Amino acid sequence: MTEENKKSAEKFEATLDSNIMETVEKIPGAADIFAEYGLPCAGCAAASYEKISDIIGEVGVDGDELISALNNSIKSME
Determine the straight-line distance between the first and last CA of the chain, rounded to whole angstroms: 12
pLDDT band at 58 (very low <50, low <70, confident <90, very high): confident
Question: Is pTM beyond 0.85 here?
Answer: no
Residue 13's CATH number: 1.10.3910.10
Please count the structural domains in the chain. Answer: 1
Any idea which of 2-16, 25-39, 55-69 has the lowest mean pLDDT?
2-16
pLDDT for the residue numbered 68 = 97
- Residue 58's domain spans which residues? 3-75
pLDDT band at 21 (very low <50, low <70, confident <90, very high): very high
According to DSSP H, which parts of 1-46 are helical? 3-11, 20-26, 30-36
